[in-house]
Structure 1
Amino acid sequence: MGGETAATQALSSAAYRDGPVEDLVKINPEAGVRPPKLSLFEPNLGEAFARAVQVRMLGGARKETVQSFGMDPQTVVVHCLAANRIRQQRDRRLTVVMGVCGLLFLPGVLIWLGAFQLRRTLGKLAGRVSSLGGLVLAVVVGLAALLLLRPPLTGFFGLYLRVMLLVPILGWYVAKRICEKTAVDLRERWASLLGGGGVGARIPEAVPQHPNQTRAELMRQSLVALATEQSSNVVFYAGPKGILGMGSRWGVWQLAEELEPRPDTDIHPFRSWDVIKAIQDRLRDLERGPLHTGGFPKPTVRHWIVAPVGENAKEVNRPTGPEVEGFTVKDFEIQRICNEQQFGSGNRHYLGVQFVLWDGQLVINLLITVTVLHYTLRIEVTGHALGPVNSLFMGGPSPKTKEVSKTVKFWETRTVHLPLVDAGEVVRLAARAPFTWFPPVLDFLGGQLALPEPFGLRHAWADKPWKHRFMADDALRAATPVLRAVNAAAISVLEENGVNTERFTNRSLVLSGLVQAAEPKAADAYNA
């Protein structure tokens, strides 16, 4: 996974994070959060992300996913499984605490849960109403003190009323210790991933121990299917969104001239595939140069089959049949599409050169297609760039603090460290714990994250590279040598087959001048 660690670990860290889940929707408005029935059961960012990714990538009714270039999606999914496993271990202990304190003293627990639910509801309202949440808890505390000192009943029921609101407080203290231990573990993994430590993720539930473990076997098969989709050579063009997983087009360069024979000769028959093969051979030499000054890393040169989908499509379907093996179109079918499917309906062929830079944070794709219509040979080069993972995923855990005024020198402030898990968070986790055994019920009560479709881990949370000066420079600089290599390879094939290349050579010189002033333009939006 060399060269792709930054984006992979940044997205993996989301499974261990805390914070509001709405932050994910701010990054990509196509994502959504189904509102909770009771806000006390709503998940935080890490819980919602890990749960949504696990269901989307490994669920029994999973749809096909979009390739995640510049990263390893399997690693992210494995970390989501590991984070869910850690939380399940915590929830087992919390369920025991809730069973002892909740079932035996259910009226008191319900009063406390109602108070915290009302506090959360009032806290989200504007104005003076939002400050009433603390008053609600104060009333419950006063009621607990009153029942402790003067219960309205005597005997067994009087004793029960005395401890009914106090035992849940003891259970809350035990639950707080459990939650804090797990929170420290999750934050250490979060920090380790962003610090380059690459903490390992353990998912023994994905390794079948015997033939009857169908759940583990299905999970293993889903992970294999995810890896197969990642290696597929089929990508999808979604209108103005560009190629899913590669980004929208920011530049287009075309070499289109008439095919004329040289004087006293005839054109030797050749096909688009012959030109593509020559271009492919030339692109493989991009890392070589006359000077020892660094330059291009080794690019990935690959044939792509591009299938059209609508801008608002909610799913993608990969081609099937005898010409497809494991989501990958076979070589003979690639050659047929290149030569025959150049106009009208059907998938198209592109030759792509891909650079994965900045530890996977920048993915540059330059795609070449060759078409022959009547006497016109057209060679088109399009630039696609996928920028870094959103900065939300790059921030590490920070201690919870707040600024308060000093007691004597009230005009000065001091920093106070807050508990890692506050009272409200402990109650939320304890209330959710028994329902984690029934995920659909928990999703109904607390809501869930809806991932943007068609879903791909990389492009769903990626920014555009143009705001980063050096990333933008890298994308622009890659276009010129690639375009010149394409033009040189194409002209050499034309000369070998008796074509008059004077017009092609002149046009190539014009393009060579134009590409030096390349600027990022939204070619797919037609506003360049």
Structure 2
Amino acid sequence: MTVDSGYADIFGPQVPQTGDGGQTATFALASAAYRDNPVEDIKKADNEWHQSTVNTGRSWAKIFRPNLGEAFSQAVIDRMLGVGRKPLIQSFGTEPQVIVEHCLAANRIRRERDKKLTGVMVLCGLLFLPGLLVWLLVFQLRATMAKQADKRVSGLATGLLVAVGALAVIFLLRMPFGGLWGWYARGAVIAPVVGWFLAKRICENTAKDLRERWDSLLSGSSVGAKVPEAVPTSPNQTAAEQLRQSLARLSAEQRSNSVFYAGPKGILGMGTRWGAWHLAEELVPTDPNKGVHEFRSWTVIRAIHDQLTVLNRQSLKTGGFPPPTVRHWIVTPVGENATAVARPEGTDVEAYQVKPKAIEQICDQQQFGGGDRHYLGVQWPLWDGQLIITMLITVTVLHETLRIEVTGHALGPVNGLFTSKPEAPSKEVAKTVRFWETRTIKLPLVTADEVVRLAARATISWYPPLLKWLGGSIGLPEPFGLRHAWADQPWRHRFMADDALRAAAPVLRVVHTAALRVLKEHDVDVEKFSSRSSVLSGAIQDLSPRKADTYDA
């Protein structure tokens, strides 16, 4: 694949403007880069088919554990822009490049914070290393004790910190050393505490910024992702050029016309197959003496394609379909439990796109046995990208039998974890006098333990592999695609389910009408086809979703 090396296409962040399809799902997934939830929350977003993993790192280094935003951003960047990465699954209804740019922007904000925290750690920690190590040990013990299930042990966590603080005050008042060592010992006790207050201010400012971006994305304000490191200003900036090309490859792969069928998981990125309708009859000529005028599967598919592109046109002015996306897809089979996919390669593929001539050849010839298959798809991203409806059509001819198959696929909304807005930390406590009543008090945005965690991570943030080894990371579900990895079923949402079911009948009838017209033009007796089409048209009136890819054999 070749990617243009010009600079004009990358200047400025690529952000869907208000009203563009897909902004809700895109911004919901992008907001995960700014979140400060516990990293374990990513497991709540997993669905039946795609499971994330949380690598907890070293048990003795809990102080280096990342939160959800930190782990999510790094995992997405590594997976989608990493050197030698595996192929990605398309994210229909979203803009993957925008999500990745927000991950890069969130990492950049955190790097700026970590630089300041590192300076504080050097001045107030590294120069007074003995005191810093003692305070870190205390906070590490406190964090370990607070995680215990035994309430008595977890309750001692705060008591431990208070006790050490009291000992520090006694140590300052009755210093056992004198002279220069005495002053250094005092500094070793006080300097880490002063550094903690400075670090707390830095952490609070950054936390406010991240939360404002989180809230703005979910409020639809289209906050832009600032990624200056992806904008090379001269040919000598190889890192920026490499990042720019990685983003360009990501966009090119998103536009690929190659998809993968994974058994009961359905077509990856399009969702499971919930319905299938088959029209198969013998090709009988209207005049036995003349026979059937020769045609190919591609002839029928081309006629169906022309009719599907005008699905949004109708005589009654009562709304109707939005303009659909009609594309030819090449479907490659993979195993149900496959952890990777391989996109088609060779002279018939350019920039992740299978060329039209190869598509036509697959449509006409690869209808039985091994190899890729051709499907014509009509797709609607609805509900701002929260619902992806795809109807796929394939035409096969085997021993004078024409078979037209129409299948329905639906991908539901992204999990509610990604659509929840930030809430100010608070808790309910009993009133002093009216103890039977409660009141809500605000808690600090950044706790004492969080300041220590961020300051400790900042010292080794320049080397992410060590940080992941110590603190842990998120393992993304494979084969990975941003949209389908955390999608819920659409059938729990009444209106989404209605939209998916309502699309089936018009598409089926348009497909059959176009196919019958081609058959008539090629001297085929369409009586049996028309009868079968009428039966299917009646059966689709009482439509309900089912697991069409689960065969009860």
Aligned match of 2:214 in 171, 180, 190? 190
Mapping for residues 46-445 of structure 1, pairs under 5 Å: 46-127=69-150, 128-264=152-288, 265-445=290-470
Preserved CA contact (<8 Å) 2:312 2:322: yes
TM-score when normalising by structure 1: 0.98
Cα distance in 1 for partners of 2:339, 2:166 equals 53
3-state SS, counterpart of residue 394 of structure 2? strand
Cα distance in 1 for partners of 2:262, 2:40 equals 26
Cα RMSD, aligned residues only: 1.2
3-state SS, counterpart of residue 457 of structure 1? coil
Give how far 1:161 is off: 2.3
Letter in 1 for 2:129: L
Preserved CA contact (<8 Å) 1:305 1:348: yes
- Residue in 1 that maps onto 2:54: 33
Give me the identity figure in percent: 62
Structure 2 unmatched ranges of 5 or more: 1-15
3-state SS, counterpart of residue 549 of structure 2? helix
Cα distance in 2 for partners of 1:525, 1:133 equals 52
Preserved CA contact (<8 Å) 1:90 1:178: yes
What CA deviation, in whole Å up to 9, does each residue of 1:447-475 have, x standing for no partner? Answer: 11111111101001111101100000000
- Residue in 1 that maps onto 2:22: 4
Give how far 1:254 is off: 0.5
What CA deviation, in whole Å up to 9, does each residue of 1:31-76 have, x standing for no partner? Answer: 1111121111011000011111111111113221111000100000
3-state SS, counterpart of residue 461 of structure 2? helix
Greater shift, 129-138 or 314-323, is seen at: 129-138
Give how far 1:250 is off: 0.4
Structure 1 unmatched ranges of 5 or more: none
Letter in 1 for 2:43: V
- Residue in 1 that maps onto 2:5: none
3-state SS, counterpart of residue 117 of structure 1? helix
Greater shift, 312-321 or 151-160, is seen at: 151-160
Cα distance in 1 for partners of 2:368, 2:148 equals 58
Equivalences, count: 528
Greater shift, 144-153 or 44-53, is seen at: 144-153
Preserved CA contact (<8 Å) 1:190 1:396: yes
Give how far 1:510 is off: 0.6
Cα distance in 1 for partners of 2:35, 2:259 equals 31
Cα distance in 2 for partners of 1:217, 1:450 equals 28
C-alpha spacing 1:402/1:510, structure 2 compared with 1 (3 Å):
same
Give how far 1:416 is off: 0.3
Give how far 1:526 is off: 2.6
Cα distance in 2 for partners of 1:159, 1:78 equals 49
Greater shift, 104-113 or 466-475, is seen at: 104-113
Preserved CA contact (<8 Å) 1:364 1:384: yes
3-state SS, counterpart of residue 19 of structure 1? coil
Cα distance in 2 for partners of 1:207, 1:494 equals 55
Cα distance in 1 for partners of 2:185, 2:348 equals 74
Give how far 1:26 is off: 2.5
Cα distance in 1 for partners of 2:424, 2:51 equals 31
3-state SS, counterpart of residue 301 of structure 1? strand
Give how far 1:152 is off: 2.0
Preserved CA contact (<8 Å) 1:12 1:80: yes
Aligned match of 1:512 in 537, 544, 548? 537
Cα distance in 2 for partners of 1:527, 1:435 equals 54
- Residue in 1 that maps onto 2:502: 477
Give how far 1:105 is off: 1.2
Preserved CA contact (<8 Å) 2:460 2:466: yes
Greater shift, 92-101 or 109-118, is seen at: 109-118
Letter in 2 for 1:5: Q
Cα distance in 2 for partners of 1:191, 1:527 equals 46
Give how far 1:527 is off: 5.6
Letter in 2 for 1:164: A
- Residue in 1 that maps onto 2:483: 458
Give how far 1:27 is off: 1.8
Give how far 1:319 is off: 0.8
Greater shift, 106-115 or 359-368, is seen at: 106-115
Preserved CA contact (<8 Å) 1:148 1:163: no
TM-score when normalising by structure 2: 0.94
Cα distance in 1 for partners of 2:471, 2:552 equals 43
3-state SS, counterpart of residue 278 of structure 2? strand
Cα distance in 2 for partners of 1:376, 1:124 equals 67
3-state SS, counterpart of residue 106 of structure 2? helix
Is 2:511 aligned against 1:486?
A: yes
Aligned match of 1:20 in 38, 43, 52? 38
Give how far 1:162 is off: 2.6
Give how far 1:146 is off: 1.5
Cα distance in 1 for partners of 2:118, 2:489 equals 44
Mapping for residues 492-507 of structure 1, pairs under 5 Å: 492-507=517-532
4+ residue runs over 3 A deviation: none
3-state SS, counterpart of residue 56 of structure 1? helix
Preserved CA contact (<8 Å) 1:149 1:162: no
Cα distance in 1 for partners of 2:228, 2:386 equals 30
